[in-house]
A and B are shown apart, each in its own frame.
Chain A
């Protein structure tokens, strides 16, 4: 690991000021915030991340989980285990609790922060290995994943430059919950709906989010729970625990008289970003909550899937995952 300067920020302003000195907040940033460290320290050990300055933000008062406008404001530093076990989250946003608890390990969840998880980097093996070509890590260098070991990689939102999967479970649930990312920026605060927070790889896979130098995520806001909504998270993976999803689905569903009145469907493990399946939602809303309709929704969600040499199985698996999750949640 390369040497770096370390500072423990005493205020949000001090942290943001330090981060603003970086030319980018994206891949290759020379200044990085550290909260839990579970992702950053790992990548620094691999030399994938080589910040010159690390800003410890753990002393900042950003870990509260509190009611806000009928919804919930989750501080950026709230640990994954605290969010997953929060009584309100479990009652009103169960899908978020389930998603978080399906990922990592108890030790990691005790460390990992809400905002850190938002920015969790891909597990693409070519991104994590300096000897491989990776457009995300080193723009313009090529992508060895295209014809390589791409079994775990994305089939939705891909480009010819990048097929890296967003690995987070939390973020899939946040998509289904219409979460909003609260950002303290150089020129004031802004609230970015999570559906607009992530960038598709396109020709610039190294620019993953809308974050700019000096931005500091201060919280994630959840809107008031949808009246009568049922929620759930289903994660399919190669082993029963401590593994990333090959496919997952987060569901928020309201029904009236057997018909769907509100639907949010998001997929994990298959997208280059936490994947909001709007096509599936459009198929569901106003229609009967039947298995046939769920299958139609899943077909719509995956119609643009672009599998590579090893991940063709994910197309069918993601559909079945979504259908099973919708069936379970609607029957709950």
Chain B
């Protein structure tokens, strides 16, 4: 039998084109999974995937769901959602805002930090239905790649991340912190940011990024 090595394991053109056709981005893959795969496994939790279609008068709501209007990043979003859906899951799965990350899901890591009425909170620790009438801001509402919030730009400039999973929570926390009574030193920043864990240990750069914004603002 011919020994297969990296050199002689050339792919046939057929295989290559097949791969090109099926290659897709991680995000597109996950979004697709949201609409099909995850819906199949977790249907009861997700009354609506992405933007739910507007319900016609008289049309029955899905069992166990309630109507909810959330004001997220300045936009009113109408949805049907089960009361047991955490704000975090609602943002990610129902409203298609995956910038807010699920880390521990138990209030121990800070990855899911968002702003509710201007204050930083953990979106994993409350139910979405508790936030009707609240003003919710996620990382998507803070800035965009083309027009970053100064804190986002500073994180990029200071390379204040490695894997990036905790980053949106770090940034949301840091932006809220600007309005809080926090002392001027690096230690003060570390203390004010201790609710956001970074497993990669990018803390020195995170502190530097936050301090630059504080100096300039």
CB neighbours of A42 from chain B (8 A): 106-107, 125
- Chain B residues 128 to 179 lying within 8 A of chain A, measured CB to CB, are 129-130, 132, 173, 176-177
Docked CA distance A4–B66 (Å): 12
**A38 lies within 8 A of chain B by Cβ:** yes
B173 x A38 contact (CB < 8 A): no
B125 x A37 contact (CB < 8 A): yes
Stretch at the interface among B16-24, B25-33, B189-197, B200-208: B189-197
**A105 lies within 8 A of chain B by Cβ:** yes
Docked CA distance A106–B105 (Å): 17
Give 1 or 0 for each of A104-133: 1 = CB within 8 Å of chain B CB.
Answer: 111110110000000000000000000000
CB neighbours of B84 from chain A (8 A): 1-4, 44
A56 x B129 contact (CB < 8 A): yes
Given known contacts A6-B83, A45-B106, A106 and B127 CB-to-CB distance under 8 angstroms: no
Secondary structure at the A interface, as helix, strand, loop or mixed, is: mixed
**B80 lies within 8 A of chain A by Cβ:** no
A107 x B173 contact (CB < 8 A): yes
CB neighbours of B90 from chain A (8 A): none
B86 x A3 contact (CB < 8 A): no
Give 1 or 0 for each of A201-245: 1 = CB within 8 Å of chain B CB.
Answer: 000000000000000000000000000000000000000111000
**A38 contact from B44, B105, B122, B194, Cβ within 8 A:** B122
A110 x B130 contact (CB < 8 A): no
CB neighbours of B83 from chain A (8 A): 3-6, 54
Beyond A4-B83, A5-B83, A8-B132, 8 extra complex contacts between A and B, CB < 8 Å: A6-B83, A37-B126, A41-B126, A45-B105, A106-B177, A106-B180, A106-B195, A242-B194
Q: Point out residues on A near B: beta carbons under 8 Å.
A: 1-6, 8, 34, 36-38, 41-42, 44-45, 54, 56, 58, 81, 85, 104-108, 110-111, 240-242
Q: Point out residues on B near A: beta carbons under 8 Å.
A: 44, 64, 66, 82-84, 86, 105-108, 110, 113, 119-122, 124-127, 129-130, 132, 173, 176-177, 180-181, 191-192, 194-196
